[in-house]
């Protein structure tokens, strides 16, 4: 049996949370507060738009298509980028080190996106972007890996 007295009840928060963020490819709603060791998002990807090609060393992502059509471009078991059309009502997950990029197909798509950050202690690394390494971007944004160099040669050579 769990001892409920071990928890600090003053830290309990029963307030609802939602934060909409406009993006060049559509918008996202964060439905988990930013102080948690994970993130829940709903992404709306506009027709024909796509997110950056990314890889993570500290978090894993899962996607669930709510409506519309969307595709994910990601590494297969041979490290080759393949395109998979997401099916409504099914979940998809990528692993640490697996390149991935989501895009809206001929119709806009709404995707539930759950991010679970994994740090050395299994909880997440505070104050970091959880190992996001941007490999390619339509807006030529730079890498957010640990080195902090916005002119990352690794990222630049992939564009």
Domain with 115 in it: what CATH number? 2.60.120.10
Number of residues assigned to the chain: 159
How large is the average pLDDT for residues 101-107? Answer: 81
- Say if 88 falls within a structural domain: yes
User: Which residue, 151, 154, 146, 109, is CA-closest to 129?
Assistant: 146
Dig out the tokens for 155 from the structure.
């990222």
Q: How many domains does the chain have?
A: 1
Give, for 154, the enclosing helix (H) or strand (E): helix 153-158
- Say if 1 falls within a structural domain: no
Distance, CA of 111 to CA of 109 (rounded, Å) = 6
pLDDT digits (tens, 9 = 90+) for 60-101: 888 888 888 889 999 999 999 999 998 988 899 999 999 999
**Three-point CA angle 115, 56, 19, nearest 5°:** 35
- Say if 34 falls within a structural domain: yes
Distance, CA of 59 to CA of 38 (rounded, Å) = 9
- Say if 9 falls within a structural domain: no
C-alpha 45: how far from chain center: 13
- Say if 7 falls within a structural domain: no
- Say if 132 falls within a structural domain: no
pLDDT digits (tens, 9 = 90+) for 115-154: 544 433 333 333 334 456 767 777 655 454 444 444 454 4
Dig out the tokens for 131 from the structure.
């190992």
Give residue 30's domain range: 17-124
């Amino acid at each position: 049996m769990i001892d409920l007295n071990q928890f600090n009840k003053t830290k309990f928060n029963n307030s609802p949370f939602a934060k909409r963020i406009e993006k060049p490819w559509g918008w996202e709603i964060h439905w988990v507060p930013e102080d948690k060791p994970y993130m829940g998002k709903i992404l709306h990807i506009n027709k024909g738009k796509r997110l950056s090609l990314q890889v993570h060393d500290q978090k894993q992502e899962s996607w669930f298509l709510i409506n519309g059509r969307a595709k994910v471009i990601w590494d297969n078991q041979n490290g080759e980028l393949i395109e998979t059309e997401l099916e409504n009502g099914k979940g998809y997950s990528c692993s640490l080190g697996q390149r991935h990029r989501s895009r809206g197909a001929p119709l806009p798509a709404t995707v539930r996106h759950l991010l679970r950050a994994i740090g050395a202690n299994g909880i997440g690394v505070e104050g970091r972007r959880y190992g996001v390494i941007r490999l390619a971007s339509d807006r030529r944004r730079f890498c957010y890996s640990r080195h902090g160099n916005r002119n990352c040669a690794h990222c630049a050579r992939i564009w």
